[in-house]
Structure 1
Amino acid sequence: MKKIAVIPARYSASRFPGKLMQQLGNKTVIRMTYDNVVATNLFDDVFVVTDSEIIYNEIISNHGKAIMSIKNHETGSDRIAEAVENIDCDIILNVQGDEPFVNYKALSDILSSFDGEIGKTVDVATLKESITKDEDINNSNFVKVVTDYNDFALYFSRSPIPFSREINFTPKYFRHIGIYAFRKDALLRFSKLTMRQNETAEKLEQLRYLEYGMKIKVIETESIGIGIDTPEDLEKAKIYLRSIAK
């Protein structure tokens, strides 16, 4: 199977505009994300897809590959679908531009979801990590996911799920990590479907796949570092980067 990685990158993020061009160590956030994905050597090609000339020029000027979006899009998946429609590939891995600490193991694990007999039933694969702090479980910027016994997604939410009603039982909570791998045909199908209630309410594009009956495999992984949604996250990422550089 031919595998490519695509990094959707908007400049005007609602919670932290311009976050991808913030400095993290000696690189911008988007360049660190791109370089780390390329360094895994898991892909036949890696692209940044953006509607911003600033981000496009940042990647191109540093010898990377970037594609300018032609249309306005509601979601990163829609932007990727436009970019890859005429690219020869079987699996497209989507790394969010604000996840600069992606590593080989996490990406290798997600790609392995398409192997074997069960892998043939997978439309989309993604990652989760265990969270235990109440502040994380109740943080609406930390998307939670619940899965069935085969690790297929049942639901994603900004709310704490499952709801803990039984005082003598503490459920496990998992944060969804916004890295996806798609079969190309599933991604192109997604881009032609209309947004339904759950996606509209939660503003989570992965719910569109579930609402239309597609199957999302969710692989547990160890932490991949700090995702950057807010200025506070950026400061945490700088501390984390210094800690792993020692």
Structure 2
Amino acid sequence: MKTAVIIPSRFSSSRFEGKPLALICGRPMIQRVYEAALGAKQVTDVVVATDDPRIADAVAGFGGRAIMTAADNRSGTDRVADAAARMGLSPDDIVINVQGDQPLLDPRCIEQVAAPLFSARKTGGDEIGMTTLAFRIVNPDEITNPKDVKVTFDIRGYALYFSRSPIPFGRDPGTVFDTYKHLGVYAYTRRFLETFRRLPEGRLEAIEKLEQLRALEHGYRIQVVVTPYDSPEVDLPEDIVRIERILE
């Protein structure tokens, strides 16, 4: 049984062209994410899934493994599913989707997001097809910033909704509650990943531009794991300076 980390990576971006190859303290961002994934326990494979030879060459340059995927994948998860198929992973293998723009990723996040899948397999409990991570927001600016996706979940930890808007919204002034940010790390069984890639795009997915809503809209559950380790993303060139300050 394998546990494969697959990092979807595209060169083209309307906000930051060539983002995966941007240097952060002298190393390409995709290399930092790749090396973080290598540090996670129970991981048997780490690969970068891309449709651009420039990224594939960069990965080969630092000794990593890249898989070329189709250029017409709808989302990062679809690209991960494409790579998993090309790797010949079995239906019961675990696939972990790590975004290529999280250079500060803590390897323990990978272990945490996969834990419910391992636990369900050992105990024979409710089958879980998909999990993801959330972090309790400590910077209030992230509550209202649409680039920071928020998530709410039920008392069992299953996602109720993901949104770029603040959720939940406190109606009464002075109401105190925690708001959780969604971190773009997912784990699935290969079986569920194949189910996901065959689903049509959801209406809410198209509105919010959030691929995980596709699963919820079609009636599938997503287990949310709250982690104490934040993993800020690089969305714009100016984010590089912020990340480098944290590293230094």
TM-score range, shorter chain: over 0.9
Question: Which amino acid in the other structure matches residue 136 of structure 1?
Answer: E
1:57 equivalent in structure 2: 57
1:54-102 Cα offsets, whole Å, 9 max, x none, are 1110001221100111241120011111111242241100000001122
Structure 2 CA distance, aligned partners of 1:140 and 1:70?
29
In 2: Cα distance, 1:118 partner to 1:224 partner: 31
Instruction: Label 1:120 to 1:63 Cα distance change in 2 as closer, same or farther (>3 A).
Output: farther
> Which residue does the alignment assign to 1:88?
89
**1:111 is matched with which residue?**
114
Which runs of 5 or more structure 2 residues have no equivalent in the other structure? none
List per-residue Cα deviations over 1:129-160 (Å, max 9, x = no partner).
Answer: 01143321000000000000011100000000
Could you tell me how far apart the structure 2 residues matched to 1:26 and 1:82 are?
31
Cα distance in 1 for residues equivalent to 2:19 and 2:200: 29
Distance in 2, Cα, partners of 1:98 & 1:53: 18
Cα deviation for residue 119 of structure 1 reads 5.9
Moved over 3 A (4+): 116-120
Q: Is the 8 A contact 2:20 2:30 kept in 1?
A: yes
Aligned residues: 242
Distance 1:142 1:103 in 2: 18
Tell me the residue number matched to 1:38. Answer: 38
- Partners of 2:126 and 2:8 lie apart in 1 by 26
- Partners of 1:177 and 1:119 in 2: how far apart? 25
SS in 2 for 1:6: strand
Using the aligned pairs only, state the percent identity.
Answer: 35
1:150 to 136, 149, 156: 156
Aligned counterpart in structure 2 of residue 99 of structure 1, from 94, 97, 102: 102
Q: TM-score, normalised by structure 2?
A: 0.93
Distance 2:190 2:8 in 1: 16
Deviation at 1:13, TM superposition (A): 2.0
How far the C-alpha of 1:235 sits from its partner, in A, is 1.1
Q: Distance in 2 between matches of 1:219 and 1:104?
A: 15
Secondary structure of 1:107's aligned partner: helix
The Cα of 1:121 is off from its aligned counterpart by 2.3
1:163-213, CA deviations, whole angstroms, 9 ceiling, x for partnerless residues?
110224122100000000011111111111111210000000000010111
Q: TM-score, normalised by structure 1?
A: 0.93
